A and B are shown apart, each in its own frame.
Chain A
Amino acid sequence: MTQIPQNTTGKKLGLVIDLDICVGCHACAVNCKEWNTSGHSAPLPDTDPFGENADGVWFNRVHTFECGEGADSRTVHFPRSCLHCEEPACVEVCPTGASYKRAEDGIVLVNEDICIGCKLCSWACPYGAREYDGDAGVMKKCTLCIDRIYNENLEEEERVPACVSTCPANARHFGDLGDPSSDVSRMVEDRGGYDLMPELHYQPVNKYLPPRPKSTGYEEDRPRHLKPIEPTSESEEAGGLFRWLDRVMSR
């Protein structure tokens, strides 16, 4: 059923994305595509990949925004994927039950065998997480790498989503956001992790960590210019012979 499951385990698997250290390299998007084109929702189509109208399904896309004005402005790289909301409107609007939220871990998935390709779920998602596969005639979306995170054929440290495993800056973190003692929950607590568009009440599970305040070099409590270092008495004594030579040669 496309009703939202009520008796959940309290487990909310999701991602925490640190906008302070994301360098916008798109490696997460590429590795996501690489894994998922042969994973749970395989294949992810690419039409006209080297032509003028390249198109295709990607579960993860990296936007780059400019924030602020003039000297205070800064560039923020912003990876965007399914947020596995606690109130996923995409699931509620689905007329067939193809879209569903798992009771055991909160992951939002599409059953491609019964999806009719009406696209209404993509209209209901405010974040643009769902992309339609015109070749297969069904909707596709991020699976939180369900075929990695529970995959016992992989080494334990590899059982994380492909985007997390590949991030060279360690800007992406995976864990249980329903458990307040988990690493990801503590990270959200410490850094003031936030929801995207909370005013729309979809209660996303994924959280974003804000960029840290920018250092301008003109903070009140910091010196404007570094002062020359005064020679100390110790350095006078320690370097007696060389100091004398220095004086002689400096004449």
Chain B
Amino acid sequence: MHPAYSVIIFTTFSGAGYGLLFLMGIFAAGQWIEPDRWFGFTGFFLAFTMVISGLLSSTLHLGHPERAWRALSQWKSSWLSREGVLAVAGFVPFGLFAFGWVIYESHDGAWRLFAMLTILFAAFTVYATSMIYATLRTIRAWFNRHTVRIYLAFAIWTGSVWFNLLAHLFDLHTPGIGMIVVITGVLALWLKRKYWIFLDTSPSWVSPENATGLGDLGPVRLLDAPNTQENYVQQEMGFKIARKHSIKLRRWAFFGYFLIPWLLAVGTVETEPWLKIPAAILAVGFVMAGTLLERWLFFAEAKHTVSLYYGAPDS
């Protein structure tokens, strides 16, 4: 699949934004954090910036961005529509949760309810995003149980690296935050490794023989394509990445999305602010860059069944 930058940026940044909102909701609902005004303001500002810029980025690849509102209509059948509805509706609880925290400095009573709703909407929006990919039977690399887990795990992991930065900036001593960074990082790593093992070892679904139905005649191979230059279908769905490059990129992604930010965040927990704050900032930079690369590979490594009609040996 052609890696569309607008979609890669959208899923990475909105994932991190929803992850951060999810964690703020958890800590507020559990009353494990003081409703400090400037902590809240900075946290919501970062989360909203990431979510909104991600959503705007996703409209950039549309042929008619001015009609984007129409995408809210088909929530009964389309996961893309459901994601849109959840993304818009979520701003109600997010906004009220932020209002209580920043204006009234409160997590009690009704404000606590909005914290709980924030948890639900953040989680379900990321779930809906992942289901757009996980329901496409045409793409073996996406139509599997790993896709949803990875999107959820990466949202909470990138969100927790941002949350860690906030905690250090406002000198919060909450041991829970360090634990969440440790656990969600390992979770993201473990699930992503399982995914790559799955991708490398699971058999191809369909072959040129299935695609053409001509398998009874023997092995089928393309003799003449219908067109001499690549058409839309080939440009969009026929993107190929050399295996040697994908192995190298997977390694770089591993350093970026996991190893470096995890060590930076975990290794500096109980150190002086002059060390842990720069380390937390660097961790955020690495985890976002690494996740962008991970998302790029999620597209680039995915093969579409239509490529079988254009000479691909498997799908």
Interface check A115, CB cutoff 8 A? yes
Contact of A120 with B80 in the complex, beta carbons under 8 Å: yes
Interface string of A31-68 (1 = CB under 8 A from B): 00000000000000000000011111110011111111
Residues from chain B with Cβ under 8 Å of A24 in the complex: 224
Q: Is the interface of B mostly helix, strand, loop or mixed?
A: mixed
- CB contact between A1 and one of B68, B74, B212 (< 8 Å): that residue: B74
Q: Is the interface of A mostly helix, strand, loop or mixed?
A: loop
Residues from chain B with Cβ under 8 Å of A91 in the complex: 77
Q: In the bound complex, how far is the Cα of B230 from the Cα of A128, in angstroms?
A: 13
- CB contact between B214 and one of A139, A200, A202, A210 (< 8 Å): that residue: A210
Query: For residue A127, which residue of chain B has the nearest CB?
Result: B306
Residues from chain B with Cβ under 8 Å of A208 in the complex: 213
Contact of B138 with A67 in the complex, beta carbons under 8 Å: no
Question: In the complex where A93-B80, A120-B80, A200-B138 touch, is A67 in contact with B219 (Cβ < 8 A)?
Answer: yes
Interface check B70, CB cutoff 8 A? yes
Question: In the complex where A132-B232, A210-B214 touch, is A65 in contact with B70 (Cβ < 8 A)?
Answer: no
B194-249 CB contacts (< 8 Å) to partner A: 205-206, 208, 210-214, 216-233, 236-237
**B residues with CB within 8 A of A:** 1, 61-65, 67-68, 70-74, 76-81, 84, 132, 135-139, 205-206, 208, 210-214, 216-233, 236-237, 304-306, 309-310
A119-B236, A122-B236, A200-B138 known, 11 other contacts, Cβ within 8 Å? A67-B219, A68-B217, A93-B77, A95-B80, A117-B64, A120-B132, A125-B138, A126-B306, A197-B206, A200-B305, A210-B213
**A residues with CB within 8 A of B:** 1-3, 19, 24, 26, 29, 52-58, 61-69, 72-76, 78, 80, 89, 91-98, 114-120, 122-128, 130-134, 136-139, 194-197, 199-202, 208, 210-211
